[in-house]
């Protein structure tokens, strides 16, 4: 994903033919949207949003942008992703003539982000910048700004009201997770022994999946340390793989690490090393693909929203399985049964092992993106350049999702069945969503 | 008396302070003397750069040390400072607080490497104090070799560590010289630390082997040559040791000097008990019940003048709300469990005062004493600053960077992320130097003589914020008042002149003792001095190495108060022989010489009243293991843990008795029969494992003349708020001792109850019941129902709560109840106690209903966290008095009417769960008790409000909830946490707190008894609380306390050494059987029953 600075954007815009206010919307580059979506990613990084929470934030912010744009363009058209979802909610404000769809889309998105993310307030600055850009380049007339902002704010309020009913606020009413004192089950992992992330995420409303049980993977290999048992074989595989990692495998593991909060300790001092989440990585890929395909606003917003909603559903499904099977992490098992001094090259994320979240959500995203862009869509993934990792070319979305999945084995944080079954789970979810919105 | 002749007694100086002008009294009690006037300009200056900084060396900000001693035997203590990166300095005391820097001429500036602690001791036994300097840091082996400066007697020193075998190249913190094997010369314990961080994964490996430079070492002096005997002597030497504090003392009173090592980080502290055969055994877990986590400096002294030495270790818990909130992260019960399971024991982040209970057992009372929170602390020194006769406490503290600030963890990660996004390299040194730096004030606490210390930092003039480390006390001007010397980071050292006598005008008295050992241990390190006055003995020990990286004066000081009197002084020399002085002159410096033929000191071991019995009720209590905090994260204690409760039947004709012992979820209660002291389980009785028994009583439920059994079903666990398992039960006796559950006897009462009392409330001759409701599972602190059950005579009970009880029985969170006729009108009234309840008196109105007349009856019956109640005629006036057990004062909470504990609750975020937010006072201001993480976990709506720790750190409740939310909140308050005695004056219950010792832990069970047959009722109080928030920490200082009553309602603790009680764990019930009154049974949670026998006194 290319990150544009405001000045670069401005140059791009003045090169475009001068247009009447709000009428020739197609000349406004979609970079505006993609860059502002990255600001939402930045807030998630600040807040250390957990992977499932991040997906939820992406879903509502990108959906808001999509809906606001559609509403501004065609107030009577009901062919939105929301209309195709399970959610019945139509209490959105109607757009009036002077609403500029691009402005409304981005402003609404930022406004939703502002309201649903803990540090969302940081986006106020971005809203001001947006105002300045649109004003400077005369994309919205002076007297229409107030109207545009009022529309976006009202739209965002509706979106937040819709989000509020999804069960998120009820999460704190559940009894917190207690580790089972049984072999083969999950226990907090070093070095920070963090409490498990969102054990009740299964209770969150999904967009497309009707019964999350239908997407349940096969159960994991039963815990059995006997030689030759499926579990033992996989345990040995993680251990041995980690010891004979090729340079390329290590690179792959790091490229797809996507751990929002890695804790480094030094005596009393702890420093959290932050990265974007797995969902953030795929939102990044969506932006890269959109730009490469030179998608227009309508399609850019549509595909981002669809990926966002798909990520959310995939995480809910995956998290249900995680806390059902409550499986031990390779790190705990290897330390206990094979090698007390072993450490995975990636830090073990703080939740149960089965299935691999990255495998599930990567596959779901790849299904959606392939259906949209086609199977032979090659692209260069630059999402991780910030973290000192090189750009990485892929021939297809599936190639990327397969690599993301197996990276968890190289990283030493997942067993093979969690990866393979996770990919299957993601495939089923992705295919279903594609079918639903066709 | 013989020895007096051989003693050289001389007065050095008597003070003339009378002429001191009153105008000057405004100045500080501890007057900070400027470098200009003292000549002491030493400054432990640090230079942070790429090569030298906290990221490269973990102990970069630990600071330097101080050693005090009279190097030229002119009667004036001289001072040596160590500088971590700067030259060490030696200052010669020229009297009148004038010092001369003789570092250069003395040849003691040391080498250019990381310098740590310093000791002054006469290592070669020639009567002159030598100086031993420790080194650490990341340098090479040469740079780390410690130095021994041998005093040449002419104010010059010669470095000669190698000759003595003491040029040890460990990463040393401090050396301690002492004679552990009583051979007359000084041996050395070397306290070391690791300079690399050990990851959790390497713990087991690291613990399994000795580390050459991180492990502590013991050197034995063999004729002037020191030999490392660590391994042979049983000294741990693994890489986990991050030793920060060392001192030695005879902790178990067996005459052999023991060692206490305090360790930073996860490794627990060590107590090395001297076996007397050249070896030590590490016995910390047998002696302490919990300890400080990041232990730093320490001191060991007889803090309460009972002749037993107490231990005080430092940690890093701040006093103020803001710094606490910035420091506390989420509580992690799984990580805590791992720590305990892996053998690191119970460690909490706060200073710990371990009160010596005798026989090598200690009770931790730091919070009761008021000295638990002194921020990031380094040196602790007990000394009698005001000459009151009670040792006061000085604590140095400060850390140069706000290193543990939680925002630093989360949000400095942003720095890396932003640098990455901006494609700029991240600069870690910049990260370090961008950490904020907050100087804090040291502390001085005045010992109140009642286990409680009073913070006098401001009044006594020690308030200057700084970063202080090593410290020492000495009477620098020989005026009979101990002065203070403190080593600071990036600031000149403090020289505090003690002028308490002048500023307070109190004519206090003192005596100082200079010991002269007869062998090579010339200042008799390890000697004890017992001073006696009117039968009371107190103890000081000669151990100059104490505090942190420092050595205090070798001259011992005793304050003698205003009417200074001293009956005798007994010096017990390191070899066990003693010298006694009768009526020594005071306000002078005595020099006492060891004499070869002194008599051996023998201490009388007191006889105990009670002894533990092997034979007890054969019941194992096993907890279900539910973590209540997972259900309601803002609870303070776990309400699930209530058992075992016990109830005894009346004595049967054959002299036997039945005893019911309650079970808990997963392990049912049982019935036992005892006959002639032999216990057997009563077969046929069956309770179900789903219940948690919270109280029980034998009474005649159906009027057939046989006693039946009522059992309260309580607990919290994963019970629904109206769970079938909360139904109380009645077991009917068939007349031959067979009890059967009677399903239809009771109305539906799905309440977690805590207490039951049986009495005839309506005057129809049948036993009715009052049942106190404790809690609504999952919905704390909503008020549960209490019940008044009327006996219908056919074994059935009718719920008459609505007509009989105020508020239809919604009386509060009741914990205990008593049924007595308090107003003498012939009907039985009720007295109730409970959590957030005042002592409640319900007066029976002619058997028809109860009215709440607490206001008329109770004087000082404030709402508390009351948890137990006992009734007896303690003042022998014919009516019944009360003792009510409360939470005690050994925690962070010290509420009063002015500064109450207030629990605000409502479903603030409207998600269907109760949000209980406790507000407590810290430094006079009310603040929400939950940490940011706890609050955000309870209410997701708080996340945008407090996106970092700093924003929450100073928030009060209005800021947290807002006016609107606050208005819909319900409130509960508590203003009294002390276990108290309530005297029945006929028309009132007049309350007063029990003695301070009764406040050392929550009192869960009370037994009135007359243990000494003097006709006056005495008391046994027991309790403790293990199932409590990690942040509050286990409260376990009550080992079963016997209080002797004087028959007038006054009680005095009988020390554990005399009572004989030594109970560990949470006592939930006490039982004394009418058929065998000499035995006391204690029901201990998650263990079973422990029985004590009253010994027949001759």
**What are the distances in angstroms from CA A424 to CA A52, A356, A429, A430, B725?**
19, 11, 9, 10, 44
Q: What is the pLDDT of residue B430?
A: 79
**pTM for this prediction:** 0.91
Q: Pick from B197, B335, B939: which is nearest to A266 by CB? A: B197
Q: What's the CATH superfamily of B610-896+975-1094?
A: YVTN repeat-like/Quinoprotein amine dehydrogenase (2.130.10.10)
- Confidence class of residue B85 from pLDDT cuts 50, 70 and 90? very high
Nearest Cα to Cα of residue B478 among B208, B129, B877, B75: B75
Write out chain A residues lying below 8 Å of B334, CB-based: 179, 187-188, 193, 195
* Contact (Cβ atoms closer than 8 angstroms) between residue A120 and residue A42: no
- A147 belongs to a structural domain: yes
Question: Which of B344, B417, B908 to substitute to test the interface with A, most A CBs within 10 Å?
Answer: B417
Contacts of A424 (CB under 8 A, 6+ apart): A217, A363
Residues within 8 A of A (CB atoms), B 764-823 only: 778
CA atoms within 13 A on the CB side of B683: 0
DSSP 3-state of B648: strand
Residues A286 and A384 occupy one common structural domain: yes
How much of chain A, in percent, has pLDDT values that exceed 90?
76
* Contact (Cβ atoms closer than 8 angstroms) between residue B312 and residue B351: yes
- A244 belongs to a structural domain: yes
Is A25 or B309 the better-scoring residue by pLDDT?
B309
Q: What is the CA radius of gyration of chain B?
A: 31
pLDDT at B67 over 60: yes
Write out chain A residues lying below 8 Å of B912, CB-based: 170, 173
Residues A135 and A237 occupy one common structural domain: no
Widest Cα–Cα separation across chain B: 101
Mean pLDDT of chain B: 92
Q: How is domain B509-600 classified at the CATH fold level?
A: Immunoglobulin-like (2.60.40)
Mode of pairing for the β-strands spanning B494-498 and B483-488: antiparallel
Residues A148 and A251 occupy one common structural domain: no
Mean pLDDT of B803-814: 97
Q: What is the pLDDT of residue A77?
A: 63
Cα B763 to Cα B758: distance, rounded to the nearest angstrom: 13
Cα A24 to Cα A140: distance, rounded to the nearest angstrom: 11
pLDDT digits (tens, 9 = 90+) for A230-241: 999 999 999 999
Q: What is the pLDDT of residue B432?
A: 78
- Confidence class of residue A31 from pLDDT cuts 50, 70 and 90? very high
**What are the distances in angstroms from CA B530 to CA A1, B95, B173, B482, B573?**
78, 30, 31, 20, 11
Question: Which of B409, B436, B915, B945 to substitute to test the interface with A, most A CBs within 10 Å?
Answer: B409
Mean pLDDT of chain A: 89
Q: Is B279 on the interface with A (CB under 8 A)?
A: no
Q: Pick from A121, A175, A387: which is nearest to B630 by CB? A: A175
Q: What is the pLDDT of residue A10?
A: 35
B1017-1046 CB burial, b ≥16 within 10 A, e <16? bbbbbbbbbbbbbbbbbbbbbbbbbbbbbe
DSSP 3-state of B772: strand
Which ipTM was obtained for this model? 0.83
pLDDT digits (tens, 9 = 90+) for B359-414: 999 999 999 999 999 999 999 999 999 999 999 999 999 999 887 778 876 666 77
Mean pLDDT of B313-320: 96
User: What is the dihedral sign for C-alpha B892, B893, B899, B902?
Assistant: positive
Topology agreement, domain B30-315+350-402+437-504 and domain B610-896+975-1094: yes
Q: Which of A135, A152, A169 is the last residue of a domain?
A: A169
Widest Cα–Cα separation across chain A: 76
- Confidence class of residue A16 from pLDDT cuts 50, 70 and 90? very low
Cα B322 to Cα B951: distance, rounded to the nearest angstrom: 10
Q: What is the pLDDT of residue B373?
A: 97
Give the torsion through C-alpha atoms of A251, A252, A254, A259, to 10 deg: 180
Report DSSP letters for B437-500, one per residue.
Answer: ---EE-EEEEE-SSS-EEE-TTTTT---EE-EEEEEEE-TT-SSS-EEEEEEBTSBPEEEEE-H
Residues A236 and A327 occupy one common structural domain: yes
Size of interface A-B (CB pairs under 8 A): 121
pLDDT digits (tens, 9 = 90+) for A64-103: 999 999 999 876 666 899 999 999 988 899 888 889 999 9
User: The CATH number of the domain where A128 resides is what?
Assistant: 1.10.606.20
Residues A143 and A236 occupy one common structural domain: no
* Contact (Cβ atoms closer than 8 angstroms) between residue A21 and residue A142: no
Mode of pairing for the β-strands spanning B1041-1045 and B1018-1023: antiparallel
Domain that holds residue A285: 222-436
Q: What is the pLDDT of residue A78?
A: 60
Residues A119 and A263 occupy one common structural domain: no
pLDDT at B599 over 80: no
Determine whether the interchain pair B913/A177 forms a contact, defined as Cβ–Cβ distance below 8 Å.
Answer: no
Residues within 8 A of A (CB atoms), B 922-941 only: 937-941
Q: Is B851 on the interface with A (CB under 8 A)?
A: no
* Contact (Cβ atoms closer than 8 angstroms) between residue B853 and residue B844: no
* Contact (Cβ atoms closer than 8 angstroms) between residue B144 and residue B111: no
B456, two tokens:
């006098």
Cα B383 to Cα B38: distance, rounded to the nearest angstrom: 23
Write out chain B residues lying below 8 Å of A170, CB-based: 911-912
Residues A238 and A301 occupy one common structural domain: yes
Q: Pick from B55, B334, B409: which is nearest to A188 by CB? A: B334
Q: What is the pLDDT of residue B606?
A: 80
Q: Is B635 on the interface with A (CB under 8 A)?
A: no
How much of chain B, in percent, has pLDDT values that exceed 90?
82
Q: Pick from B200, B913, B944: which is nearest to A173 by CB? A: B913
Q: What is the pLDDT of residue B882?
A: 97
DSSP 3-state of B1088: strand
pLDDT digits (tens, 9 = 90+) for B739-750: 999 999 999 999
Residues within 8 A of B (CB atoms), A 253-272 only: 261, 263, 265-272
Residues A420 and A308 occupy one common structural domain: yes
Q: Is A338 on the interface with B (CB under 8 A)?
A: no
Task: Give backbone dihedrals phi and psi of A337, rounded to 5 degrees, phi first.
Answer: -115, -20
Task: Give backbone dihedrals phi and psi of B797, rounded to 5 degrees, phi first.
Answer: -125, 145
* Contact (Cβ atoms closer than 8 angstroms) between residue A223 and residue A217: no
pLDDT digits (tens, 9 = 90+) for B649-659: 998 888 899 99
Nearest Cα to Cα of residue A379 among A281, A275, A260, A246: A281
Q: Pick from A171, A187, A271: which is nearest to B412 by CB? A: A271
Least confident of B527-536, B541-550, B927-936: B527-536
How far away is chain B from the Cα of A96, in angstroms, using its nearest Cα? Answer: 32
Q: What is the pLDDT of residue B408?
A: 76
- Confidence class of residue A191 from pLDDT cuts 50, 70 and 90? confident
Cα A53 to Cα A260: distance, rounded to the nearest angstrom: 11
How far away is chain A from the Cα of B1085, in angstroms, using its nearest Cα? Answer: 21
* Contact (Cβ atoms closer than 8 angstroms) between residue B965 and residue B989: no
pLDDT digits (tens, 9 = 90+) for B117-160: 999 999 999 999 999 999 999 999 999 999 999 999 999 999 99
Instruction: Tell me yes or no: is domain B30-315+350-402+437-504 CATH 2.130.10.10.
Output: yes
How far away is chain B from the Cα of A191, in angstroms, using its nearest Cα? Answer: 7
Cα B115 from chain centroid (whole Å): 33
Cα A431 to Cα B1021: distance, rounded to the nearest angstrom: 69
Peptide bond into A234 cis (omega under 30): no
Q: What is the pLDDT of residue B425?
A: 72
Residues A375 and A280 occupy one common structural domain: yes
- Confidence class of residue B1097 from pLDDT cuts 50, 70 and 90? low
- A191 belongs to a structural domain: no
Write out chain B residues lying below 8 Å of A48, CB-based: 410, 413
pLDDT at A352 over 70: yes
Per domain, the residue ranges of chain B are 30-315+350-402+437-504, 509-600, 610-896+975-1094, 901-971
Residues within 8 A of A (CB atoms), B 384-413 only: 403-404, 408-413
- A300 belongs to a structural domain: yes
Q: Is B534 on the interface with A (CB under 8 A)?
A: no
- A316 belongs to a structural domain: yes
Instruction: Please tell me what DSSP assigns to residue A395.
Output: S
A53, two tokens:
């929470």
Query: What is the layout of strands, in order, in the sheet containing B693-699?
Result: B693-699, B708-713, B729-733, B739-741
For chain A, what is the domain count?
2
pLDDT at B983 over 50: yes
List the single residue in A with minimal CA-CA distance to B293: A268
pLDDT at B5 over 60: no
User: What is the dihedral sign for C-alpha B960, B962, B968, B971?
Assistant: positive
List the single residue in A with minimal CA-CA distance to B628: A175
Cα B525 to Cα B122: distance, rounded to the nearest angstrom: 10
């Amino acid at each position: 994903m290319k990150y544009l600075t405001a000045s670069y954007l401005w140059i791009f815009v003045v090169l475009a033919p001068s247009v009447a206010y709000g009428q020739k919307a197609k000349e406004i580059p979609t970079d505006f949207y993609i860059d502002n979506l990255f600001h939402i990613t930045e807030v998630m990084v600040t807040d250390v949003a957990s992977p499932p929470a991040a997906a939820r934030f992406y879903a509502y912010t990108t959906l808001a942008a999509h809906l606001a744009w559609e509403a501004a363009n065609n107030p009577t058209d009901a062919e939105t992703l929301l209309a195709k979802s399970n959610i019945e909610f139509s209490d959105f404000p109607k757009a009036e003539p002077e609403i500029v769809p691009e402005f409304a889309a981005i402003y609404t998105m930022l406004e939703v982000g502002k309201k649903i993310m803990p540090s969302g307030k940081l986006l106020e600055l971005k809203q001001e910048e947006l105002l300045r850009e649109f004003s400077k380049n005369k994309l919205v007339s002076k007297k229409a700004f107030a109207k545009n902002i009022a529309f976006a704010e009202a739209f965002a309020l509706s979106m937040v009201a819709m989000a509020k009913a999804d069960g998120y606020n009820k999460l704190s009413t559940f009894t917190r997770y207690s580790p089972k004192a049984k072999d083969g089950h999950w226990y907090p992992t070093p070095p920070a022994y963090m409490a498990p992330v969102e054990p009740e995420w299964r209770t969150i409303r999904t967009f497309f999946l009707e019964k999350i049980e239908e997407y349940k993977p096969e159960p994991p290999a039963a815990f059995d340390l006997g030689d030759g048992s499926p579990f033992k074989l996989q345990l040995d595989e993680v251990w041995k793989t980690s010891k004979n990692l090729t340079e390329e495998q290590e690179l792959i593991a790091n490229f797809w690490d996507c751990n929002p909060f890695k804790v480094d300790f030094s005596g009393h001092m702890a420093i959290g090393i932050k990265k974007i989440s797995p969902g953030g990585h795929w939102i990044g890929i969506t932006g890269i693909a959109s730009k490469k395909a030179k998608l227009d606003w309508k399609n850019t917003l549509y595909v981002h929203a669809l990926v966002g909603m798909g990520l959310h559903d995939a995480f809910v499904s995956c998290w249900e399985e995680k806390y059902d099977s409550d499986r031990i992490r390779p790190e705990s098992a290897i330390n206990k049964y094979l090698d007390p001094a072993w450490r995975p090259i990636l830090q073990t994320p703080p939740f149960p092992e089965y299935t691999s979240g990255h495998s599930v959500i990567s596959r779901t995203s790849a299904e959606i993106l392939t259906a949209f862009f086609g199977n032979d869509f090659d692209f260069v993934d630059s999402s991780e350049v910030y973290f000192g990792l090189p750009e990485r070319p892929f021939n297809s979305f599936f190639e990327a999702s397969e690599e993301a999945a197996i990276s968890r084995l190289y990283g030493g944080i997942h067993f093979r069945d969690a990866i393979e079954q996770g990919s299957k789970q993601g495939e089923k979810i992705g295919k279903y969503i594609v079918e639903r919105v066709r | 008396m013989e020895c007096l002749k051989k003693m050289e007694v001389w007065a050095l100086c008597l003070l003339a302070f009378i002429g001191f002008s009153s105008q000057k009294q405004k100045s500080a009690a501890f007057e900070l003397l400027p470098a200009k006037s003292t000549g002491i300009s030493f400054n432990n200056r640090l230079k942070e750069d790429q090569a030298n900084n906290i990221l490269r060396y973990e102990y970069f900000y630990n600071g330097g040390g101080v050693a005090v001693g009279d190097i030229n035997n002119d009667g004036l203590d001289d001072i040596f400072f160590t500088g971590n990166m700067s030259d060490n300095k030696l200052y010669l005391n020229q009297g009148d607080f004038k010092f001369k820097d003789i570092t250069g001429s003395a040849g003691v500036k040391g080498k250019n490497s990381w310098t740590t602690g310093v000791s002054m001791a006469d290592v070669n036994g020639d009567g002159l104090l030598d100086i031993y300097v420790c080194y650490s840091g990341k340098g090479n082996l040469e740079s780390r070799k410690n130095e021994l400066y041998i005093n040449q007697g002419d104010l010059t020193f010669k470095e000669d560590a190698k000759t003595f075998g003491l040029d040890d190249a460990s990463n040393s913190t401090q050396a301690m010289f002492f004679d552990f094997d009583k051979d007359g010369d000084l041996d050395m314990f070397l306290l070391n630390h690791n300079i690399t961080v050990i990851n959790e994964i390497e713990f087991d490996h690291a613990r399994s082997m000795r580390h050459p430079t991180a492990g502590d070492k013991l050197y034995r002096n063999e004729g002037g040559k020191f030999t490392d005997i660590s391994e042979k002597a049983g000294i741990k030497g693994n890489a986990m040791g991050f030793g920060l504090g060392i001192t030695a003392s005879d902790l178990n009173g067996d005459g052999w000097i023991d060692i206490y090592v305090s360790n930073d980080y996860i490794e627990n502290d060590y107590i090395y008990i001297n076996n007397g055969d050249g070896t030590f055994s590490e016995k910390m877990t047998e002696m302490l019940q919990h300890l400080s986590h990041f232990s730093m400096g320490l001191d060991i002294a007889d803090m309460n003048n009972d002749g037993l030495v107490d231990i005080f270790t430092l940690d890093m818990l701040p006093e103020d709300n803001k710094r606490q909130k910035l420091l506390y992260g989420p509580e992690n019960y799984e990580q805590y469990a791992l720590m305990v399971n892996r053998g690191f024991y119970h460690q909490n982040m706060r200073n710990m005062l371990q009160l010596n209970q005798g026989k090598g057992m200690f009770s931790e009372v730091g919070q009761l004493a008021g000295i638990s929170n002194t921020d990031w602390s380094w040196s602790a020194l007990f000394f009698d600053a005001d000459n009151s006769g009670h040792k006061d406490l000085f604590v140095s503290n400060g850390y140069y960077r706000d290193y543990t600030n939680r925002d630093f963890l989360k949000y400095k990660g942003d720095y890396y992320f932003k640098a990455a996004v901006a494609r700029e390299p991240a600069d870690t040194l910049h990260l370090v130097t961008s950490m904020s730096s907050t100087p804090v004030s040291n502390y001085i606490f005045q010992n109140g003589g009642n286990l409680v210390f009073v913070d006098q930092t401001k009044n006594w003039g020690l308030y200057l914020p700084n970063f202080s480390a090593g410290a020492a006390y000495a009477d620098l001007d020989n005026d009979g008042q101990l002065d203070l010397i403190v080593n600071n980071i990036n600031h000149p050292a403090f020289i505090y002149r003690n002028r308490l006598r002048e500023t307070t005008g109190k004519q206090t008295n003192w005596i100082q003792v200079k010991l002269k050992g007869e062998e090579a241990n010339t200042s008799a390190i390890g000697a004890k001095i017992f001073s006696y006055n009117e039968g009371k003995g107190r103890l000081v020990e000669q151990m100059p190495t104490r505090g942190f990286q420092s050595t205090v004066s070798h001259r011992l000081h005793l304050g003698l108060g205003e009417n200074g009197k001293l009956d005798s002084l007994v010096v017990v020399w390191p070899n066990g022989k003693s010298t006694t002085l009768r009526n020594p002159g005071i306000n002078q410096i005595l020099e006492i010489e060891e004499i070869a033929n002194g008599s051996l000191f023998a201490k009388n071991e007191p006889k105990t009243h009670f002894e533990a019995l092997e034979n007890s009720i054969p019941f194992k209590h096993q907890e279900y293991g539910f973590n209540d905090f997972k259900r309601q994260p803002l609870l303070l204690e776990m309400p699930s843990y209530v058992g075992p409760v016990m109830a005894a039947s009346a004595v049967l004709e054959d002299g036997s008795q039945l005893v019911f012992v309650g079970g808990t979820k997963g392990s049912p209660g049982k019935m036992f029969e005892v006959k002639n002291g032999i216990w057997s389980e009563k077969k046929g009785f069956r309770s179900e494992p789903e219940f948690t028994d919270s109280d029980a009583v034998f009474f005649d439920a159906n009027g057939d003349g046989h006693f039946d059994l009522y059992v309260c079903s309580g607990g919290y666990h994963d019970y629904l708020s109206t769970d079938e398992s909360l139904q109380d039960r009645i077991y009917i006796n068939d007349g031959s001792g067979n009890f059967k559950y009677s399903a239809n006897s009771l109305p539906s009462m799905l309440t977690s109850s805590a207490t039951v009392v049986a009495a005839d409330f309506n005057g129809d001759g049948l036993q009715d019941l009052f049942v106190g409701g404790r809690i609504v599972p999952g919905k704390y602190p909503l008020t549960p129902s209490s019940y008044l059950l009327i006996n219908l005579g056919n074994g059935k009970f009718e719920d008459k709560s609505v007509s009989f009880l105020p508020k239809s029985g919604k009386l509060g969170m009741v914990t205990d109840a008593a049924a007595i006729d308090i107003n003498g009108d012939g009907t039985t009234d009720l007295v109730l106690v409970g959590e957030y309840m005042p002592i409640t008196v319900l007066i029976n109105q002619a058997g028809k209903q109860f009215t709440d007349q607490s206001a008329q009856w109770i004087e000082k019956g404030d709402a508390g966290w009351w948890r137990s109640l006992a009734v007896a005629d303690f003042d022998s006036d014919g009516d019944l008095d009360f003792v009510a057990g409360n939470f005690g004062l050994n925690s962070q909470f010290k509420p009063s009417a002015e500064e109450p504990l207030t629990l605000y609750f409502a479903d603030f975020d409207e998600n269907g769960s109760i949000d209980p937010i406790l507000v407590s006072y810290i430094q006079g201001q009310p603040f929400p008790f939950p940490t940011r993480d706890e609050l955000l976990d309870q209410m997701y709506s708080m996340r945008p409000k407090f996106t970092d720790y700093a924003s929450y750190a100073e928030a009060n409740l209005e800021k947290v909830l807002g006016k609107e939310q606050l208005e819909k909140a319900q409130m509960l308050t508590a203003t009294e946490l002390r276990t108290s005695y309530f005297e029945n004056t006929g028309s009132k219950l007049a309350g007063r707190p029990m003695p301070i010792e009764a406040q050392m832990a929550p009192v869960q069970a009370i037994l009135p008894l007359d243990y000494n047959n003097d006709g006056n009722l005495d008391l046994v109080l027991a309790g403790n609380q293990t199932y409590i928030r990690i942040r509050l920490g286990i409260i376990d200082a009550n080992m079963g306390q016997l209080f002797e009553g004087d028959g007038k309602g006054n009680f005095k603790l009988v020390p554990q050494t005399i009572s004989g009680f030594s109970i560990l764990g949470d006592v939930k019930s006490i039982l004394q059987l009418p058929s065998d009154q000499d035995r006391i049974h204690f029901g201990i949670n998650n263990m079973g029953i422990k029985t004590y026998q009253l010994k027949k006194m001759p």
